[in-house]
Structure 1
Amino acid sequence: MNRRELAEPAPRLLDLLAAEWIKLRSLRSTYWVLALASLVAIAVNVNAVHTDLTYIDHPRPRMPGQPPYRYDPLFHGLGGIAGDLMMIAAGSLGAITVFGEYTTGLIRTTFAAVPDRRGVIAAKVVLIGGITALAGLVVSTGSFLTVNAMLASRHLGLSLADDGCLRAVLGYAAIVPVCALIGMALGALLRHATASIVSLVMLLFVLPMMFGGDRYRWLKEIGTHLPSATVQRLTINPNSSATMGKYAPSVLDSWITMGVWAVVAVAVTAVAVRRRDA
């Protein structure tokens, strides 16, 4: 036998996915947090609309000179609080899957068994991206269908076929795996639990407040290309008066921006893991 015959075959992606799934499943707290966050997010959206039913049935008198108020099921049914909860839960899960192995030393065992670091990262990306995408889709569709079923009796319900609804549901779901990939990139760069989570919160929630307002266009355009702004643009009801103010991005621009964040996050994770010692 020659060396090629004696060499072990390279692990397939399915084998690496199975290994990563075993790691994730062994840490019940990680996927339970995501599952609990998904349930809470749906409950938050449903409760928000349920609370609004009283004001819908008994609206306040219209002020003189003001147009009649129109209830926006998209804005209230796919709420920002629930979206933020899913973003931070997914981002934290993504970060934990990377820095968790470094802090425990498991990453050395992983690379000893599988020297192909690109294959390991690809498996992590596919697994975490797939799981968080499913969670995001469950939250977005579950929230949309439930709240609009509640509003149907008030003749305010929407369907996925209505203008902008399918886009809003998909955008609300897509930001979840994107944040998970961003969390992986931060975990690979920082390799520390506190630093990774704090950096994630800064990027998702603090930076948007620093790049708001319409006074300076360049500041506003930076802010509209942050992850949280993309989902805000995609979930705007085209039949409502809601806008993002001056210099708002187009729908296509927001989709592209979201995709760029995902691609850059994966690239950063791969480079950081390949070029730094375990």
Structure 2
Amino acid sequence: MTSTPMAGTPVPPPVTARLAHREDPAPRFTDLLAAEWLTVRSLRSTPWLLALSALAALAVNINAVHSDLPYIDRPHPAVPGFPPYVYDPLFHGLNAIAADLMALATASFGALTVFGAYATGTIRGTFAAVPDRRAVILARVTVVTALTLVLGAVVSTASFFTTNAMLASRHVGLSLHDPGCLRAVLAYALVVPVCALIGMAFGAVLRHPTASLVGVVALLFLLPLLFGGDHYRFLKEIGNCLPLSALARLTHNPNSTAPLGGYPATVTGSWLALAAWALLSTVVTVTVVRRRDV
């Protein structure tokens, strides 16, 4: 038997209306940042990958200068057709090999933060809790960028000051105020988060560990081989826009006797190239994650 409410008795709202009224508010972006930070920390390989890559890069830079110390003071015979040899602390202290190592490690880390979520299925729970995919992936991009930027800054500044302190006894050390030094230190630090963002883009598009890493290696290390040389200007100018090529131009010592080769990139163009890679990678990551099914 169904009871009829007495006159004057308030009728409760429908269940759906009560649930909608009690629904929790949408999470703030700061909440998403905190959640993504916990997610990144939960990846067991993350601390080891980043810490070991930073230590290895720092060790490469220090060892490069330490190995040169016995030979700096020795006389260097003049070579016909070439300028007199002058030791370049910026070239050896911010070593290209160490930069390549950091670029590969952080790009792999960036890819892992994306394809790892799809491989484990945690991305489904994340999007179920927060349907706004763009906010979620932007929070992850922010966390990865901030973490790798700190890592790059630590390696860059530690390498510069440590190696130049070692060279002080040979009177060839540089100061941060010397021409090109501050620019080189900043570029050496900024290329690290740029490569991490490139890795995130590959992870979002390919969603496979091996394919993502192959794509990263091809872009960062194989393409520069195809667009090098000075024979064709348009190929060289394309190569100048690649991330590690732009880094090489920004870390070039203005007082160095080493030539830049034909059709060298400009400093402004190299900064714009790094910014464009960071922006393009972020746009690709956000767009792909928003539009593709999980």
Give the TM-score band, short-chain normalised: over 0.9
1:57 maps to which of 73, 92, 102: 73
Q: CA deviation at 1:249?
A: 1.3
**Any idea what the Cα deviations from partners look like across 1:89-119, whole Å, max 9, x if unmatched?**
1100000000001011111011001111011
> How far, CA to CA, are the matches of 1:215 and 1:65 in structure 2?
21
What is the aligned partner in structure 1 of residue 191 from structure 2? 175
Structure number with larger C-alpha Rg: 2
1:231 maps to which of 240, 247, 263: 247
> How far, CA to CA, are the matches of 2:73 and 2:237 in structure 1?
40
What is the aligned partner in structure 1 of residue 139 from structure 2? 123
**Any idea what the Cα deviations from partners look like across 1:15-69, whole Å, max 9, x if unmatched?**
1111111111112312221111001101100000000001113234334675421
Change over 3 Å in CA distance of 1:64–1:180 after alignment to 2: closer
TM-score of the two chains, using structure 1 as the length reference: 0.96
Structure 1: state its 5+ residue gaps: none
1:202-221 to 2 correspondences below 5 Å = 202-221=218-237
2:265 maps to which of 231, 249, 255: 249
What is the aligned partner in structure 1 of residue 87 from structure 2? 71
> How far, CA to CA, are the matches of 1:120 and 1:244 in structure 2?
43
Deviates more, 1:240-249 or 1:215-224: 240-249
TM-score of the two chains, using structure 2 as the length reference: 0.91
> How far, CA to CA, are the matches of 1:23 and 1:91 in structure 2?
18
Change over 3 Å in CA distance of 1:66–1:100 after alignment to 2: closer
* Identity rate, percent: 62
1:1-278 to 2 correspondences below 5 Å = 5-63=21-79, 66-278=82-294
> How far, CA to CA, are the matches of 1:88 and 1:66 in structure 2?
34
Change over 3 Å in CA distance of 1:11–1:243 after alignment to 2: farther
Structure 2: state its 5+ residue gaps: 1-12
Q: CA deviation at 1:241?
A: 2.0
> How far, CA to CA, are the matches of 1:93 and 1:160 in structure 2?
30
- Letter of the 1:109 counterpart: G
Deviates more, 1:61-70 or 1:222-231: 61-70
Q: CA deviation at 1:243?
A: 3.4
> How far, CA to CA, are the matches of 2:24 and 2:166 in structure 1?
58
Deviates more, 1:202-211 or 1:66-75: 66-75
SS at match of 1:241: coil
Cα pair 2:83 2:257 within 8 Å, conserved: no
Between the two proteins, the alignment pairs up a number of residues equal to 278
**Any idea what the Cα deviations from partners look like across 1:170-207, whole Å, max 9, x if unmatched?**
00110000000000000000000000001000000000
Cα pair 1:236 1:243 within 8 Å, conserved: no
Q: CA deviation at 1:162?
A: 0.5
What is the aligned partner in structure 1 of residue 8 from structure 2? none
> How far, CA to CA, are the matches of 1:63 and 1:198 in structure 2?
42
Change over 3 Å in CA distance of 1:16–1:246 after alignment to 2: same
> How far, CA to CA, are the matches of 1:274 and 1:259 in structure 2?
23
> How far, CA to CA, are the matches of 1:54 and 1:65 in structure 2?
26
